[in-house]
Structures are given as C-alpha cells and as structure tokens.
C-alpha cells in the first residue's frame, strides 16, 4: 500500500459510517507555525471520496462539491455517507467528515461512469455520441520546467516536511516569479503534477491535483495562507498513467476573496478533471513556517 493510500484509508464501521485519520504526511504548516498543521484540502476530499465510492453503486465521482468548515485535526474522524438518490446513470450522496461532534468537511457527491482515457478519446472518437474538447494548456516539456521543492509554508519549524515531500510539481517558469519576489502580475499557476510514489493517477489523485498547486493569487503578489472555502470538481475521464498537467486561473479578486478555475489533463492529452473554488486571499509576508496552500 502506498503512503497516499494509507493517508486516505477508511475503515467501515457500519452502514454508511467510516473511520479515518487525517495524516501528517499530507499536512501543511499552519500560519505562524501553530500546531496542528492543516491537511491539504484535496487529500481530505480524496478521503471522503474513498468512503463514498466504497458504498456507491457507480464507480466514478462525476461531480463533487466540498465545503471546508473547519481545519481538520490530526486525530480520528468519522465519515457519514447518506444516499439521496440511486439511479442507473447517476447516484448522489451527502458525505460529512466529523471530528469532536462537529462537521469539518461537508460534501455532495454524484457518482456515475466516465470513459477511460486513451489517445483516441481526445476529440471525435468514432462513437455515436457527440464529443468535443477544447485545446489543452501549453506547457514547456518537463525537463524545461522548475521543481521548487519544499517552498515556504510547507516545512515546519522543526524541519518536518509533509505534503511537499509526497508530490512532484514541475512548474512553467513563467508562473514562479513570486518565489523570488517578482510575481508575474497574472493570477495563474500551471505545471506537471503527480505523486512521488509509483502509483497511477485515479479519481482520488485528481481530487488532490485540482487543489494541489500554490494559490493563483501568488502571481499578483499575495502571500500567506489562502484557505479554500468551497471547491467543486468534475471528473471527466479515468486518467492515463503518467504525470498530470494542471492549469489554474483566476477571474476576479475582490473583498478578500478570489476564485480559481483548474483543468487537469493526462499524459494521453485528455481532459480528465475540472474544478472551481472560492478561497480567501492570504495576508502578510510569506515566511518559513507559514502555510502556502
């Protein structure tokens, strides 16, 4: 079992009830080095999806809407799954991750069936149904991209590295000027994304990928923790093996809020996931020991 599978594992307690434990290995350092650190939001969504899919009549989370209500503690948690509808092509569940009697993550998940990615799946593939896909993002080849390593906010004061040690991110050089105090002036992030472990991407890793890059507002000079308040993800296909390409962009920043739209494309050139989230703009200088994503 991989580290990711261990960190998102759930144990069935009974009908619609699961035990889990948010894992330090996918956590980020809280602002000012306050403990406990916060587990990456995409990893929490992946954990809830694991519980939902365990009892789902259909195999893929086609649409997932997640509201982040509290910071998850590094302590046991319970996931409750209630099915609102079970149809032949779509089934919808409400799933809540609870700690100490309070909801931490509230989700609605619609399960269904999506195609398996292949080179022929990009565009008209010979099937009777209508198919069309927009052009994928343009990225330099991986060898020309920048691997930042653990950036400020992903290393605890004691030197412990969590989330950043578990993933691979290779950034387009055009979007990482913020690392040197020279933001590009555009709210965007893009690059290659994957787990460091030998594990093919699937629905659970797509949930991490859509929330896995640094906040797009870093490109405008924002710093610090940018907590996600709500995130909606659409799974479009089962990804092919290999690194994912992720491109995220913002349309509006105002009143301390920003939106972030993300697309995830697989190694076969197919769109496999889309997301939109609303989040709070970080405040204060980005220092070692401050949460970045």
Q: Over its length of 293 residues, how does the chain's per-residue pLDDT go in tens digits?
A: 899 999 999 999 999 999 999 998 898 765 455 455 789 999 999 999 999 999 999 999 999 999 999 999 999 999 999 999 999 999 999 999 999 999 999 999 999 999 999 875 555 454 567 888 888 899 999 999 999 766 555 666 566 668 888 999 999 999 999 988 999 999 999 999 999 999 999 999 999 999 999 999 999 999 887 899 999 999 999 999 999 999 999 999 999 999 999 999 999 999 999 999 999 997 654 443 333 44
Beta strands in 9-133 (DSSP E): 11-14, 17-20, 27-28, 38-39, 60-68, 77-86, 91-99, 102-112
Q: How far apart (Å, rounded) are the C-alpha atoms in residues 147 and 191?
A: 10
Q: For residue 78, with 0-12 CB atoms within 10 Å meaning exposed, 13-18 middle and 19 or more buried, which class applies?
A: middle
pLDDT of residue 293: 41
Q: Give the CA angle between residues 37, 104, 256 to the nearest 5°.
A: 75
Please answer whether residues 143 and 173 qualify as being in contact, where contact means their C-beta atoms are separated by less than 8 angstroms: no
pLDDT score for 157 = 59
The domain 3-115+139-280 having CATH identifier 2.40.160.210: the answer here is yes
Pairing of strands 91-99, 77-86: antiparallel
pLDDT at residue 154, as a whole number: 60
pLDDT at 28: 79
Q: Are 104 and 97 in contact (CB under 8 A)?
A: yes
Task: Count CB atoms within 10 A of the CB of residue 11.
Answer: 11
Judged by DSSP in three states, 48 sits in helix
Do the beta carbons of residue 145 and residue 139 sit within 8 Å?
yes
- What residues have CB less than 8 Å from 35, skipping those under 6 apart? none
| Confidence (pLDDT) at 170 | 96
Question: Can you give the pLDDT at residue 159?
Answer: 61
């Amino acid at each position: 079992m991989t580290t990711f599978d261990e960190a998102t594992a759930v144990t069935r307690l009974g009908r619609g009830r699961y035990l889990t434990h948010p894992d330090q290995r996918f956590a980020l350092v809280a602002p000012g080095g306050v403990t406990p650190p916060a587990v990456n939001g995409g990893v929490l969504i992946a954990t809830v999806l694991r519980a939902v899919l365990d009892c789902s009549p259909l195999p893929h989370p086609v649409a997932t809407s997640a509201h982040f209500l509290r910071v998850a503690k590094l302590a046991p948690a319970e996931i409750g799954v209630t099915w609102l509808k079970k149809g032949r092509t779509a089934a919808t569940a409400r799933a809540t991750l609870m700690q100490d009697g309070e909801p931490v993550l509230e989700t609605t998940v619609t399960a269904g069936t999506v195609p398996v990615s292949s080179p022929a799946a990009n565009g008209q593939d010979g099937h009777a149904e209508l198919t069309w896909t927009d052009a994928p993002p343009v990225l330099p080849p991986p060898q020309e991209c920048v691997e930042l390593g653990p950036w400020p906010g992903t290393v605890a004061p004691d030197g412990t590295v969590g989330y950043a040690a578990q993933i691979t991110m290779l950034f387009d050089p055009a979007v990482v000027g913020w690392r040197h105090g020279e933001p590009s002036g555009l709210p965007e992030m893009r690059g290659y994304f994957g787990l460091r472990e030998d594990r093919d991407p699937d629905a659970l890793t797509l949930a991490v990928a859509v929330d896995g890059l640094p906040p797009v507002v870093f490109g405008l000079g924002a710093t610090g923790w940018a907590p996600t308040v709500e995130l909606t993800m659409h799974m479009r296909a089962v990804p092919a093996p290999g690194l994912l390409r992720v491109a995220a962009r913002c349309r509006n920043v105002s009143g301390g809020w920003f939106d972030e739209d993300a697309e995830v494309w697989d190694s076969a050139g197919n769109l496999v996931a889309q997301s939109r989230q609303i989040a709070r703009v970080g405040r204060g200088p980005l220092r070692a020991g401050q949460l970045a994503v």
